[in-house]
Structure 1
C-alpha cells in the first residue's frame, strides 16, 4: 500500500453544500504521517445555523478566509491523484469533486464499509460511535486539538479507524478489503 489521504469536509448546510472546512491526513504504508493539513473556506452561500451547531463554524469564523478557488491549486498539489479514505467517503468525495471537478483520486475507500464487514452486528456504525467503542477518540483529539465534527478531527479519526481495522489483517487481506471498499470501483459492492 502506498500513500493515501484521509479526508473530511464540513459544509455550509445548503443544498448543494459548499465546503467551509477541508482536512487531509497522510497515510503511508498504513502508518499515519504528520499532522492534518486543513483549510477553512468562505462559502458563497450562507452557513446555516444548523450546520454551525454541528461543526462549530460560524459565518464570522470564515469571513476573512479564502474561497475554494483561492486554495484549489494547493489542494490539488497536496492530494494529487492519490487514493483517499474517509468514513462514508462518498459525501466528502462528492463535495470536493463539486468544488474541484478536475480532481480524480485513484480510489476513494470507505471506512464505513470496512467497519460493517469487520465489525458485524453493531447497532451503529457512525464515526463517533466506532471511535468511542474502539478507544480512538483521545488520540484524535491529542493529534488535532479538535473536537468531533471538525474536519481535522474527523479526518484523523477516519485514518485511525482504518489503521485499527486493518492492522490485524495480512497485507493481502487488507489490500482486498480496501479494494472492495473503493466507491469508485464499479465492480465493488460486496461489502454493502
Structure 2
C-alpha cells in the first residue's frame, strides 16, 4: 500500500517549524482506497507570508487537534506502507520530526513523485506539481491545501504506475538508503555513474550554475555524504533543493584535487562554499633601498611593482621566517623591518646589532648581509616537482613550482620519455599562483605521499646517464 502524503506548515524546514495541515491518501497501486485530512494546531504562530500561500491562519487552527491527538490515526495510515509525496524529503522530514517529538522514530520506505516523473515523463521544463499536473491533464482543486494537492498527487501516481514500462517504481524501492536520499531534482543515474576515484566535483543548479565545489579521494562516496543524515536543517534543505546536476574533474590523487578545488572556488565563487572564498593577496618580504644606500627589508601585503623576495600565506609565517633568518645573518632588526624606532634599534643598546641603524656599520657590509638574505630566499625557492599517482595505472601526475611560484599541474604516460626539465611543460596545465596554493604545498600532511624532485637533482641525474 502507498500512503500519499501532503502537508502544509508554519515554515520551510522541520527543525523549528510544525505541521498545520495534513492529508493522507491510501493507494493500492491502481486506485485510491482511503482518504484522510485534518487541520493541525501547530501550537505556534503561522507567519502571514505562509498564510498567503496556503490560506491557513491562526484562527483556523485554534480549535484544531494537536498532532499528538491525531498521531495514532496518522501512524495507522502510514505504518507498513510506502511514504509517497511530491518532493518527498520535505514532507517526510516534518512527519518524522513530529513523531520524534512524541518519542517515536518513524522509518518508512519513500518514493518521490518528482523523481519518478523525471524518469517516466521525461522532457518537461519543470516538475513542480502545478506544471506536471497541467501537462498530464490533472485538475488541482484547492491548490496549496494539503487535501487538494494530495488528491492531485494520487492521480499523478496512478498515471505513473500505468506508464511505468521500465519498472522505475520497483527499481526505486530496491535502492539502498543512501541512494534513496539523493535530492529530488538530481537524476539518480547521474549519481550512479559518478566515479569512485580522486578528483573535484561540482554541484550545479537549474540554470547550470556552479553552486558548490568540493574535492575527494572518492568522488561518489564524498558526494553521497552531502545527501545523508537529517534533512530538517534549513541550510541543508535549501542546499539540496538546488542541486540539479553533478559534474566532476578527475585528478588521480588528492593533492592535485586540493589545488584544483582551490582554483575553482576562486574562479567560480560558488554560493555554498565558505572556505577559500577570499582574495587575500598574502604577505611578502619586499626589498628596497633608502636614501643613504642601505638595502632594507619589509614584510607586508603583496604589492605590484615591489620586488618580492619570499611569499607567505599569512603574516605570522612571514614574520617567523624574517626574524629567524635576519638574526642568523646578524641583520639590524630595524633595517629588517622587525623593529621601528626614530633612532637606533633596541638590539643596538644590548650590543646585539652591529650598528647599521646608528650609522656604525658600513653600507657595503650591511648590504652584503642583505645579499646573503636574498641568496637564502633563492635557495628556499628552488625549482621542484611533486610526483604522484595519475588518473590511470600508466599515468603519473606532477605539480610544478619554479622560483617559489606555483606553475600548475599535469599528467603524462610513464612510457613517454622525459629527458629535459622543459619536457614537463608539454604536459603542464598552467594555473595562477595564490597564497592559498602556497599554504597547501607547504603542508606536510597534504604532500606526505608525494615524491619531491628538485630541478638540480633531476638535471644532474640526466647528465650522469
Name the TM-score, length of structure 2 as normaliser.
0.36
How many angstroms apart in 2 are the aligned matches of 1:104 and 1:30?
26
Moved over 4 A (4+): none
**Equivalent residue for 2:446?**
none
For the residue of structure 1 that corresponds to 2:38, the secondary structure is: strand
Match status 1:125 vs 2:124: no
Is the Cα–Cα contact under 8 Å of residues 10 and 55 in structure 1 kept in the other structure? yes
Q: Aligned partners of 1:118 and 1:74: how far apart in 2?
A: 33
SS in 2 for 1:113: helix
What are the residue-to-residue correspondences of 1:163-182 with 2, within 5 Å?
163-170=158-165, 173-179=167-173
Counterpart position of 1:116: 118
Render the CA deviation track for 1:58-116: whole Å, top value 9, x for unaligned: 11111111111211122112222311101001110000011012253431100000111
What 5-or-longer segments of structure 1 have no aligned partner?
Answer: 142-146
Q: Deviations over 1:127-175 (max 9, x none)?
A: 01111111111xx53xxxxx011101111111111111220234x7144
Query: What's the counterpart of residue 68 of structure 2?
Result: 69
Contact 2:85–2:91 at 8 Å: present in 1 too? yes
Q: Which residue of 1 aligns with 2:8?
A: 10
CA distance in 1, matches of 2:107, 2:80: 4
Please identify which structure carries the higher helix content.
1
For residues 40 and 5 of structure 2, what CA distance do their matches in structure 1 show?
15
Distance in 2 (CA, whole Å) between partners of 1:129 and 1:109 is 19
CA RMSD of aligned residues (A): 2.1
Contact between 1:4 and 1:85, CA under 8 Å: does it hold in 2?
Answer: yes
Map of 1:20 onto structure 2: 20
Instruction: Determine if contact 1:114/1:191 at 8 Å carries over to the other structure.
Output: no
Conservation of the 8 A alpha-carbon contact between 1:23 and 1:155: yes
**CA pair 158-53 structure 1, distance change in 2 beyond 3 A:** same
Shift of 1:177: 4.7
Q: Select which of 155, 158, 162 maps to 2:157.
A: 162
